[in-house]
Amino acid sequence: MNGAESGVDMLAQLDELQADENRDFLLMSRPFYDDLVHLFTGTSRSVERLCELDTQTHNSSTSKSVFMIPYSQIAERGYTLRSCRHPIKIIDVKSEYWIKRTRFVASCENSKSRDIHGDFTSTDEQYAEIISDIISKEISTGAGSNFVISREWVAHVNNFEFREALGVFRNLLVREIGSYWIFLARFGRTYFVGASPERHLSIAFNELAMTPISGTLRTPNGHPTDDQLVNFVLDAKEARELQMVLDEELKMVSGIGSSPISVYGPSLRFMSRLVHTEYAIRAHSKRSVSHVLAGSLFAPTVMGAPIENSARVIARHETHDRRYYSGVLGVVNYESTAPTLDSTIMIRTAEISDNSVRILAGSTIVQDSVPMKEASETRAKVQGLLDSFDAKESGRSATASLRDRVRLPLSVRMVLDERQANTASFWRDTSSSLDLGTAYGLCSEHLNIGIVDMEDAFSNMLRVLLECLGCSVSVYTPSEAVSCHRKHRLMFMGPGPGNPISEDPAMRSVATLIQDRLRNRQPFLAVCLSHQILANVLGFPIRRRRVPNQGVVRTIDWFGDPISVGFYNSYEAYFRNCRKEPVRIAEVDMSFANESSEIHGFRGEFFGSFQFHPESSLSLDGRETLMSEILRILSREMPEQSCDMQSDRVGRAL
């Protein structure tokens, strides 16, 4: 491996790369880490599966690899893919160089790009119509809380050369601010150049980090006022978008990492024409790089929530091939026993071939999205990148952006601090819960809990919460749970997308499971979708909400106690005869909203349910409410030998 502190060798390498178009490379700058530009060169190859990143790197003569993962790798997780499969690109690094960013910019002053002229392949009106369809046909019917739909911008060019691509990269270094990675990669005869604001995943010293970003303030002149920033941070829609993305990435981190998990933020990320809000998540992890990467495909900020159903929605509504848009570009180093990894999400990226420039941009669609505003947002994202194809000097410097980050006005810092208080304390530091679980007697080898995963990784968050309280937890699919649930002292029926009264096999399996637990008086709790299935089993009507609850926080009356919790539901169970107090029907108590008769939860002697998500980062009182229900149920648990004797009476009462 070569290093060149003076940068002379690196500049010579650029000349060689221009002369030899068959050599692949990555040029990369990470403004939040250092003021360097790195160059990685080596032999490239294509593979089909992520596990080959581990095995072939270990068997090669190099310890470091550059990799690029296409969107089509979503199929490796078994998720829906409509477009073509594309290979994972890997460069086994033979040489590495670095140089000060200022020196690189000065040395490439003569590398000029060219003006390009293109347009979206769909009109703003057509894109807005797709958004309207997704709101009415997907979000409103319970398919998910939010979805990211991209659109395609294309320009036709002839003979786009190495120095022109280098010129775009140089311009991004000079003009773009707030980027996590600024990069130029060449694989074969195709260039990928971009300035991505978002980390995909980093690993160092067995700690992984992710940075969910959402919420967008458009700043055409690059200079937002203090009032604009305050109003942006206080905007309910933008705040809800970010909080939902935080939940989605916590689902992901809970699946690939382990406690302690900690959330920091929100904070602001300044770009040349945009400002975003973001969180930072850190967690422990000792799993292989390929395993962690596979479990992180792909970020909810480029897909939506929940991830598995988002893949179906994208396949239904996007007519173009995403190729490497929304994929991952990264560098992994196996030199030590604990590998290090850094990677970025491939957004704000141009794919340049011999005859075209292709840019994809998307927006996060939620229930209250304004379709034409979302179309305008995609134009702003594309324009921010197109500015770097222009040779004129303009824009603020990256140095200025870092000053902005440190010197936020007091009014902005205050509202950001207020937003921080809206994240459940458990997720700000999960390690704080073990003592609580011990104090309440939950740390017991006898408290083995099963969770039914209904295609929503909220089950991962629920598992982490329960494990941090000292419980032993196993996760099952609905069909698996039907055959093995009886070995668990307590079962959790999990949340998920869809219509609770449909004939979907998963819905039927959970209904069967609930009926079996009721007959045998075996303790269980049901969350969100499973709460609705329980309500249907108990004979309560189910209706679709006129306006879905997606990332909505409410303070509700929970059997006499006010609690602040987060809701994600398009359907609800309701009580026909509205009363002011929780009511008892046979052996079931209910908590419900007086104004709408929506049932928030049930309490039976050995079971309970939540329409809300106690495991969500939105639920400030979620952990305590969940723990109280577990203790309530287990304290009333019937002796095992009397279960059969009591089952008929309970069945008749229900």
Rounded distance, CA 42 to CA 59, Å?
Answer: 16
- Let me know if residue 135 belongs to a domain: yes
142 with 46, same domain? yes
Does the structure show a pLDDT above 60 at 56? no
Rounded distance, CA 391 to CA 590, Å?
Answer: 66
Total domains in the fold of the chain? 2
pLDDT of residue 4: 45
Rounded distance, CA 199 to CA 210, Å?
Answer: 6
- pLDDT-derived band at 274 (thresholds 50, 70, 90) equals confident
- pLDDT-derived band at 587 (thresholds 50, 70, 90) equals confident
Give the position of tokens 């593979």.
Answer: 47
Answer whether 247's CB lies under 8 Å from 615's CB: no
- Mapping DSSP to helix (H, G, I), strand (E, B) and coil, where does residue 157 land? coil
- pLDDT-derived band at 433 (thresholds 50, 70, 90) equals low
- Angle at the Cα of 165 (from 320 to 159), degrees rounded to 5? 75
- Mapping DSSP to helix (H, G, I), strand (E, B) and coil, where does residue 473 land? strand
Residue 446 sits in a domain of what CATH number?
3.40.50.880
Task: Count CB atoms within 10 A of the CB of residue 36.
Answer: 18
In the set 528, 572, 598, 629, the catalytic residue is 528
Domain boundary among 391, 420, 449: 420
- pLDDT-derived band at 350 (thresholds 50, 70, 90) equals very high
- pLDDT-derived band at 640 (thresholds 50, 70, 90) equals very low
User: Exposed, middle or buried: residue 580 (CB in 10 Å: 0-12, 13-18, 19+)?
Assistant: exposed
Does the structure show a pLDDT above 70 at 480? yes
E strand segments, 48-163: 64-69, 88-100, 118-120, 146-156
457 with 397, same domain? no
Quick one: tokens of 129? 């119509």
Nearest to 650 by CA among 638, 632, 635, 633: 638
Does the structure show a pLDDT above 70 at 522? yes
- Let me know if residue 425 belongs to a domain: no
- Let me know if residue 404 belongs to a domain: yes
Is 613 in the active site?
A: yes
pLDDT of residue 113: 74
Sign of CA dihedral 566, 207, 278, 346: negative
Residue 233 sits in a domain of what CATH number?
3.60.120.10
Is 615 in the active site?
A: yes
Rounded distance, CA 89 to CA 468, Å?
Answer: 38
Dihedral of CA atoms 179, 185, 191, 196 in degrees, nearest 10, equals -20
Amino acid at 558: W
Answer whether 148's CB lies under 8 Å from 313's CB: no
Nearest to 114 by CA among 71, 156, 57: 156
Q: What is the mean pLDDT of the chain?
A: 87
What are the tens digits of pLDDT across the range 354-369?
A: 789 999 999 989 888 9
Residues 6 or more apart whose CB falls under 8 angstroms from that of 387 comprise 171, 175, 272, 273, 394, 395
- Let me know if residue 161 belongs to a domain: yes
Quick one: tokens of 431? 């390690």
- End-to-end, the C-alpha distance of the chain in Å comes to 71
- pLDDT-derived band at 371 (thresholds 50, 70, 90) equals very high
Residues 6 or more apart whose CB falls under 8 angstroms from that of 624 comprise none
- Let me know if residue 427 belongs to a domain: no
Q: Which DSSP string corresponds to 236-247?
A: HHHHHHHHHHHH
Nearest to 578 by CA among 555, 597, 559: 597
pLDDT of residue 6: 52
Answer whether 499's CB lies under 8 Å from 475's CB: no
Does the structure show a pLDDT above 60 at 645? no
As separate numbers, helices (DSSP H) first and strands (DSSP E) second, the chain gives 20, 28
406 with 436, same domain? no
Nearest to 37 by CA among 92, 102, 90: 102
- Let me know if residue 481 belongs to a domain: yes
Domain boundary among 383, 398, 420: 420
86 with 227, same domain? yes
Rounded distance, CA 346 to CA 348, Å?
Answer: 7
353 with 408, same domain? yes
- Let me know if residue 297 belongs to a domain: yes
Rounded distance, CA 201 to CA 356, Å?
Answer: 30
374 with 490, same domain? no
In the set 238, 318, 615, 629, the catalytic residue is 615
Residue 188 sits in which domain range? 8-420
Percent of the chain with pLDDT over 70: 88
- Let me know if residue 1 belongs to a domain: no
- pLDDT-derived band at 534 (thresholds 50, 70, 90) equals very high
pLDDT of residue 400: 46
391 with 481, same domain? no
414 with 460, same domain? no
Rounded distance, CA 491 to CA 607, Å?
Answer: 9
Residue 539 φ/ψ region, left for φ over 0, alpha for ψ in the -120 to 50 degree band, beta for the rest: left
Task: Count CB atoms within 10 A of the CB of residue 31.
Answer: 21
User: Exposed, middle or buried: residue 641 (CB in 10 Å: 0-12, 13-18, 19+)?
Assistant: exposed
Rounded distance, CA 336 to CA 40, Å?
Answer: 19
- The Cα-based distances of 139 to 193, 213, 393 in angstroms read 34, 21, 43
Answer whether 632's CB lies under 8 Å from 606's CB: no
Rounded distance, CA 424 to CA 620, Å?
Answer: 4
Does the structure show a pLDDT above 90 at 597? no
Length of the chain: 654
Domain boundary among 364, 392, 420: 420
Q: What is the mean pLDDT of residues 11-31?
A: 90
Sign of CA dihedral 367, 373, 378, 384: negative
413 with 465, same domain? no
pLDDT of residue 391: 61
Does the structure show a pLDDT above 70 at 99? yes
Residue 236 φ/ψ region, left for φ over 0, alpha for ψ in the -120 to 50 degree band, beta for the rest: alpha
- pLDDT-derived band at 28 (thresholds 50, 70, 90) equals very high
pLDDT of residue 436: 60
41 with 129, same domain? yes
What are the tens digits of pLDDT across the range 281-320?
A: 999 988 889 999 999 999 999 999 889 999 999 999 999 9
- pLDDT-derived band at 87 (thresholds 50, 70, 90) equals very high
Answer whether 565's CB lies under 8 Å from 556's CB: yes
166 with 139, same domain? yes
Which of 228-237, 385-394, 631-640, 641-650 has the weakest average pLDDT? 641-650
580 with 640, same domain? yes
What does DSSP say about strands 146-156 and 118-120: parallel, antiparallel, or unpaired? antiparallel
